[in-house]
């Protein structure tokens, strides 16, 4: 089975909610037109609700919604495109390709449809077709870094490593803040080493693809923990604002049962998903004075190899060395003293092999 590389921001949702149905030209007593107007309004409502479900990670609900929207308006390129994104997120690449193809048949040149179909084809190992789609995506969207990023993945799998490097360079040139592209490019450079001098034929491209995916995931995780626990771990209100903007789901009440004594009192928790995995974010306050706030970000699935990459990336990004390695049952733990402008923060990185879970735990105060 071909390696399923995670493409960069494959799922771009466009809402239909402001589909404009003008009634000014309708003559009085024209029920057919009014019926069409109501049908269009129903389509927009159902479509946008499905898009919201998708962005919340509720894929089954999103799929049912887009099915209903397409039943109302089978000629909607947008609905087919967005249902293709849901199928992609569920790993059903064949169904995704079918919907992206239908979207392009109805509306040739629909933004991102060629790119997303190319990503799905790539994950099925249909690399020549994938490259054709991504070439077209670059032609249609020459200023968008994502198209070059995803085409680079196809180049790697086709053993066109110099072309892959060129596309990563272009992606970085199009978006200087694209840290995932920078991380992927650097990992490719490191892995190639001296292979350019006649040794490209022996390069293990499957390994390179895996390592590039790891590099992207490491960068994503480090950016995520920096923007959540490190930046706002001492502020429950700050985390609530992030949760609202990010449409994170509140954790079930039973998971946030208030605990006292030696343990912390949990006062906030959320769950969310993105293209790299599932996450749980919690905020708690220890029962002591002055208070100690604890922010934890947990993600899975994570391999031992990825955990090692995250540790190395964390130390490089924040310029820290291990403080100690406490013995926590069933976990591999390294702790650091991290400065973020609010003082010295005790930060623990823990890996639980049994569950493939990685935990960032940030302490504000004097634990």
> Over the stretch 46-91, which tens digit does the pLDDT of each residue have?
998 998 888 777 889 999 999 999 999 999 999 999 999 999 988 8
> Over the stretch 187-242, which tens digit does the pLDDT of each residue have?
777 776 655 554 555 566 677 777 777 777 888 899 899 999 998 888 888 898 88
Q: What is the separation of C-alpha 225 from the centre of its chain, rounded to a whole number of angstroms?
A: 14
**Angle (CA) 294 296 297, round 5°:** 160
**pLDDT at residue 158 tops 70:** yes
What average pLDDT is seen over the chain?
A: 79
What distance in Å separates the CA atoms of residue 221 and residue 216, rounded to the nearest whole number? 9
Task: Report the DSSP pairing between strands 249-250 and 292-300.
Answer: unpaired
* Nearest by Cα to 277 from 249, 300, 298: 300
> Over the stretch 307-350, which tens digit does the pLDDT of each residue have?
998 998 899 888 899 999 998 889 999 999 987 666 678 899 99
The percent helix, strand, coil of the chain (3-state, each to 5) is: 55, 15, 30
**How close are the terminal C-alpha atoms of the chain, in Å?**
48
Cα–Cα distances (Å) from 164 to 14, 209, 327, in that order, read: 29, 11, 43
**pLDDT at residue 154 tops 50:** yes
What distance in Å separates the CA atoms of residue 286 and residue 367, rounded to the nearest whole number? 9
Per-residue pLDDT band for 182 (boundaries 50, 70, 90) equals confident
**Angle (CA) 353 358 359, round 5°:** 125
pTM: 0.67
Contact 6, 127 (CB under 8 A): no
* Nearest by Cα to 49 from 95, 87, 16, 92: 16
Report pLDDT for 17: 41
Please report which helix (H) or strand (E) contains residue 335, including its range.
strand 332-339
Six-digit token pair at 195? 């292979």
What distance in Å separates the CA atoms of residue 135 and residue 121, rounded to the nearest whole number? 13
Contact 271, 278 (CB under 8 A): yes
Please give the average per-residue pLDDT across 158-175, as a whole number: 84
Q: Give 12 or 125, the one with higher predicted confidence.
A: 125
């Amino acid at each position: 089975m071909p390696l399923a590389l995670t493409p960069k921001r494959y799922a771009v949702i466009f809402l239909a909610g402001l589909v404009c149905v003008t009634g000014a030209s309708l003559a009085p007593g024209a029920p057919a037109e009014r019926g069409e107007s109501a049908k269009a309004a129903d389509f927009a409502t159902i479509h946008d609700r499905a898009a919201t479900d998708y962005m919340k990670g509720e894929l089954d609900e999103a799929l049912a919604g887009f099915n209903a929207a397409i039943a109302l308006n089978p000629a909607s390129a947008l609905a087919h495109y967005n249902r293709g994104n849901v199928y992609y997120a569920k790993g059903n690449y064949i169904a995704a390709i079918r919907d992206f193809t239908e979207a392009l048949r109805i509306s040739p040149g629909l933004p991102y449809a060629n790119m997303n179909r190319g990503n799905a084809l790539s994950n099925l190992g249909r690399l020549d077709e994938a490259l054709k789609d991504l070439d077209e995506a670059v032609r249609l969207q020459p200023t968008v870094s994502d198209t070059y990023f995803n085409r680079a993945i196809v180049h790697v799998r086709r053993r066109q490593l110099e072309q892959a490097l060129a596309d990563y360079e272009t992606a970085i040139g199009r978006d200087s803040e694209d840290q995932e592209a920078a991380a992927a490019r650097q990992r490719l450079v490191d892995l190639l080493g001296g292979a350019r001098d006649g040794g490209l034929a022996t390069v293990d491209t499957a390994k390179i693809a895996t390592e590039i995916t790891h590099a992207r995931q490491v960068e994503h995780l480090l950016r995520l923990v920096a923007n959540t626990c490190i930046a706002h771990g001492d502020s429950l209100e700050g985390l609530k604002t992030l949760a609202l903007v990010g449409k994170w789901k509140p954790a079930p009440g039973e998971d946030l049962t208030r605990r006292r004594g030696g343990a912390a009192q949990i006062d906030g928790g959320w769950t969310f998903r993105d293209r790299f995995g599932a996450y749980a974010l919690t905020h708690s306050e220890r029962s002591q004075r002055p208070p100690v706030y604890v922010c934890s970000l947990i993600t899975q699935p994570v391999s031992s190899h990825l955990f090692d990459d995250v540790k190395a990336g964390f130390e490089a990004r924040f310029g820290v060395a291990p403080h100690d390695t406490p013995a926590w049952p069933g976990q591999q733990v390294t702790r650091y003293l991290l400065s973020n402008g609010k003082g010295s923060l005790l930060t623990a990185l823990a890996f639980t092999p049994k569950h493939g879970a990685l935990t960032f735990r940030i302490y504000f105060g004097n634990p």
